[in-house]
Amino acid sequence: MNRQSRFIVSVLAFGYAFLYVPLVLVIVYSFNDSSIATVWGGFSTRWYGELLRNDQILDAALLSLRIALTSATMATILGTMAGLALARFRRFRGRTLFSGMITSPMVMPEVITGLSLLLLFVTLQQLTGWPGQRGFGTITIAHTTFSMAYVAIIVQSRLMAMDESLEEAAMDLGGHPLRVIFDITLPLIAPAMIAGWLLAFTLSLDDLVIASFVSGPGSSTLPMYIFSKVKLGVSPDINALATLIILFITVGVLLSWLVARRRA
């Protein structure tokens, strides 16, 4: 091994340790019997039991899941339409504004998105009486708005990489444009739509800042509940919750990776 590759290997080792050691330690400490989270008091699974008895966590998790399922589905529908529009309709009025609005939510700092959406909801409520109270509905709309951008980009790049000739052939043979979309285009971009849905789902489950702005009293998502607890410091039941989430996501990502690899 020469000097250059030795350097690269050590940076890689350091980098991966940097990324993973904190997560591994959270997992280790979730089995700590001591209620002082930083002192090791022997092996125990008692924090997992407490987790199951904590109704607040279960309620928050349920709300988060409902929001994530709804917003990911809406984002996939709207994002796929947007991706189709950008990739297949080369010219239409306001295209520049449209593509700007698609990519901006992805890079907008969360505090700005959250503040602006909350002010919109407050203004709408004054003018129309809707939304009467903020919670599931407003958070779902907020999550749909920022995650449809990711779906649109994934679908758009899939369409760009794809041959248009199949769709053109179907059109030439007299297929109705809408039928061509449903019979040819959508099946071809289905993998991109699934990837987009999964990303939107995860982004929704993950969001703290935007949800904190647009939710009302009484509706806490899981990240909001976790944040309110960890503000006060490290706590053992959050370690247990974090471990469950980390393991769940790791298994999910590994499985989808294996499936994708087998297909390829």
Partner 1 sequence: MYRKLIIAAPYLWLLIFFLAPFAIVLRISLADPVIAQPPYSPTYSPDSFTFLLTDKLYAITYLRSVIMAAGATLLCLALGFPMAYGIARCQPATRNMLLLLIILPFWISFLLRVYAWMGLMNNYGAINNLLMWLGIVDQPVQLMYTDFAIFVGLAYSYLPFMILPLYATLERMDLDLVEAAQDLGASRSRAFWDVTWPLARPGVIAGCLLVFIPAMGEYVIPYLLGGSESLLIGRVLFDEFFVNRDWPLASAVAVILLLLLVVPIVLLQRYQARDQEGTA
Q: Is 200 near partner 1 (CB under 8 A)?
A: no
Q: Is 186 near partner 1 (CB under 8 A)?
A: no
Q: 136-161 and 110-128 helices cross at what angle (nearest 10)?
A: 120
x/- string (CB under 8 A) for partner 1, residues 112-151? x--xxx-xx-xx--x--------------xx-xx--x---
Q: Is 171 near partner 1 (CB under 8 A)?
A: no
Count of residues of this chain found to bind partner 1 when the rule CB under 8 A is applied: 89
Q: Which helix (H) or strand (E) holds 232?
A: none
- Nearest 10 degrees: Cα torsion 169, 173, 179, 183: -50
Q: Is 228 near partner 1 (CB under 8 A)?
A: no
Query: For residues 83-119, b (16+ Cβ closer than 10 Å) or e, as one string?
Result: bbbbbeeeeeeeeeeeeeebeeeeeeeeeebbeebbe
- The pair of structure tokens assigned to 126 is 């004054």
Figure out which of the listed residues 65, 181, 184, 188 binds partner 1, where binding follows CB under 8 A: 181
Q: Is 166 near partner 1 (CB under 8 A)?
A: no
Compute the distance between CA of residue 228 and CA of residue 218 in angstroms, rounded to an integer: 13
191 vs 252, which CB is nearer to partner 1?
Answer: 252
19 vs 173, which CB is nearer to partner 1?
Answer: 19
Figure out which of the listed residues 1, 130, 178, 263 binds partner 1, where binding follows CB under 8 A: 178
Asked if 238 and 18 touch (Cβ cutoff 8 Å), the reply is no
* Residue 50 CA: distances (Å) to CA of 18, 23, 58, 125: 30, 21, 11, 40
Figure out which of the listed residues 44, 65, 69, 98 binds partner 1, where binding follows CB under 8 A: 98
Compute the distance between CA of residue 82 and CA of residue 153 in angstroms, rounded to an integer: 9
Q: Which stretch binds partner 1 (CB under 8 A): 14-22, 54-62, 165-173, 188-196?
A: 14-22
Backbone angles phi, psi at 89, to 5 degrees: -100, 100
Cα end-to-end span (Å), the chain: 33
Q: Which stretch binds partner 1 (CB under 8 A): 16-24, 41-49, 54-62, 129-137?
A: 16-24
58 vs 230, which CB is nearer to partner 1?
Answer: 230
Figure out which of the listed residues 53, 90, 92, 173 binds partner 1, where binding follows CB under 8 A: 92
Q: Is 249 near partner 1 (CB under 8 A)?
A: yes
Q: Is 195 near partner 1 (CB under 8 A)?
A: no
Figure out which of the listed residues 47, 139, 223, 240 binds partner 1, where binding follows CB under 8 A: 223
Taking the complex as a whole, the smallest distance from the CB of residue 36 to partner 1 amounts, in Å, to: 9
